Amino acid sequence: MKHGFIRAAAMTPLIRVADCTYNTERIKELMLSAAERNVSLAVFPEMCITGYTCGDLFLQETLIRQAEESLLELVRESEKYEGMLVFAGLPFEYNCKLYNVAAAFCEGRLLGLVPKKCLPNYGEFYERRQFTPGFDECVTVHVGDFEVPMGAKLLFACENMTQFVVGAEICEDLWTVQPPSIGLAVHGATVIANCSASNETIGKRRYRTELVSGQSARLVAGYVYASSGEGESTQDIVFGGHNIICENGSVLGQAELFSGEQIYADLDLDRLKSERRRMTTFVSAEENDGYTTVYFRTKIKELDLQRYYDRTPFVPQDEKERNERCEEILNIQTFGLKKRLVHTGCRSAVAGISGGLDSTLALLVTVRAFDACGLDRSLITCVTMPCFGTTDRTYNNAVELTAQLGCTLREIPIEKAVRQHFKDICHDENVHDVTYENGQARERTQILMDIANQTGGMVIGTGDMSELALGWATYNGDHMSMYGVNSSVPKTLVRHLVRYYADTCGETELAEVLLDILDTPVSPELLPPEKDGTIAQRTEDLVGPYELHDFFMYHMLRFGVRPEKLYRLARHAFEGAYEDEVIYKWLKTFIRRFFSQQFKRSCLPDGPKVGSVAVSPRGDLRMPSDASAALWLDELEKIKNKNFN
């Protein structure tokens, strides 16, 4: 589908044991339902044409022949549904032996049969009584008028959507030491279909979910698992219809047990392709190794996405998970700085403290690092440097925060020094341009560096990853430090880290200061305040909402999402929050600044990586400083012409 999406369905029909005619009608009904929902891949359970619990009836010629006739009827039915690939299970006889197979068919064509390799023969399952284990080598079999391949090494590849390649395995195959899906993925399958009949016992639902999810992560693939449900015999066991759809470790959807629920999910095949391309440990096969590819076609169309995209992908929505994430990140930052302090022998640290979020987080991390080193907090020098844009609120918070944490405060007003500097370079103080703003930032950095020399310490950097992605930092000003503890923490997460500290510090007065800092608008405070003393310069009014920029950054750097698709994802995620034109405007700003400001990231100081996205030139982002953004901006221009003209 457009932008690499395909809609998958895991479907469990209400069957009657050994009644192929009845079961076929139920499957046809679900095929129609899937087609109406624009499904490109529909997976049905193991032996769904006959029922899994037929026992020795599987050996009856009547059932075997009727199962084949029913399969052919379903294949003919599929001719009605353009581009929908279907997998359904049945018993199939070959060379006088019976095999448990998954049949693949699309648009009136039977494409192939995949036999189950690993047959359970323990507990309540005795498949080897009736069936023979499947084989890898591909043989040709006749089903009605069709001459098709049969073997476990079959791949079903879409001719007009090359990233859509499906492999199949059956139930127990997944539960073994070396599932067939491993080889299928290595040889190109981006999606695994599993026709299953997994019964319910205590705790099995959770284990099964973890198994399917883990396999999808291991294979960097989509995994569509359809299991038997109501209608199967309950003579000794019960089936709950536990359908699951996963993508690279994430559960996109699963059915409630015994609900008869059919589940749908949109798989992002471009995202999987990007992840495999990025991972050098995902090694694709260099040789064919006996795998056979069968081709089919799908219908390319734009889906109305039935998929959730988090507006704040760096911030977990669940409170417990978010708190765990915050503690983990604070520990990474803390022990990264601790190692640097120990290695350099520094017993002093210098931090510029503005009363803003970033400098607050940097100071909290520094305090934790000093505590971990057994150093007195008074050895941390907090420097507040009021100038033209400093407001009473931020100044007072900086002073109070320093006192509450037990650090040493130095107040160094820089107005006189900056004015002298403007005089030296012949700059009119009334011209509030980039020179006016950056002159203040560089003066502050010079002071911090010199105090660090005085105290034998190091300057702790405050800038966060969102600012670095946008280049929202003064080169050789707040851009520079001796260790940047926030360098891979996005702005949307900074807020939660400070809030977590406030909630868990156990100190009422400290918490009150932190909460007021959280309530203060984000600003560099480089322009004079309003007449009422409030902040005049609000960062998000100038560069755009950080929640949008963090969303853009996550999907572009983590998955290589192209501008047209990124715009679509943002519209989907932020529907009702921002107009389309606003999203477009700030996406264009993000791409333009991201490319033009790489020179600032190319010489970043050291700092700890905390997540899967980072911009360090030594690690995750090896990007030339003079790379052109033309291709990305051209694609955005096409979006503009299509949507806004």
Tell me which residues are annotated as active site. Answer: 46, 116, 171
Nearest partner of 475 among 430, 445, 433, 449, judged by Cα: 445
C-beta of residue 42 within 8 angstroms of C-beta of residue 31 = yes
Strand, coil or helix: 274 = helix
Cβ–Cβ contacts within 10 Å for residue 611, how many?
19
> CA–CA separation, 169 vs 206, rounded Å?
20
Q: Which helix (H) or strand (E) holds 234?
A: none
Which residue in 267, 330, 323 sits closest to 608, CA to CA?
Answer: 330
Which amino acid appears at position 157 of this protein? A
**H or E stretch covering 89:** strand 85-94
What does the alpha-carbon distance between residue 359 and residue 351 come to, in Å, rounded to a whole number?
8
| Cα→Cα distances 551→24, 488, 526, Å | 45, 15, 27
Nearest to 636 by CA among 578, 572, 586: 586
Using the structure block, give the residue that is written with the tokens 């290695």. Answer: 343
**CA 159 to chain CA centroid, nearest Å:** 27
| Three-state DSSP state, 321 | helix
> Would you state the structure tokens that stand for residue 294, as one six-digit string?
């069968």
SS3 of residue 370 by DSSP: helix
Question: Going by C-beta distance under 8 Å and a sequence separation of 6 or more, which residues neighbour residue 610?
Answer: 329, 332, 333, 488, 489
Residues 6+ apart with CB under 8 A from 222: 8, 190, 191, 192, 216, 245, 246, 247, 248, 267, 269, 272
Could you give the CA distance from residue 72 to residue 18 in angstroms, rounded to a whole number?
A: 17
What b/e readout covers 507-540, taking b as 16+ CB neighbours within 10 angstroms?
eeebbebbebbeebbbbbbbbebeeeeebbbebb
- Residue from 103, 76, 106, 80 nearest 92 by CA: 103
Distance CA 584, CA 586 (A): 6
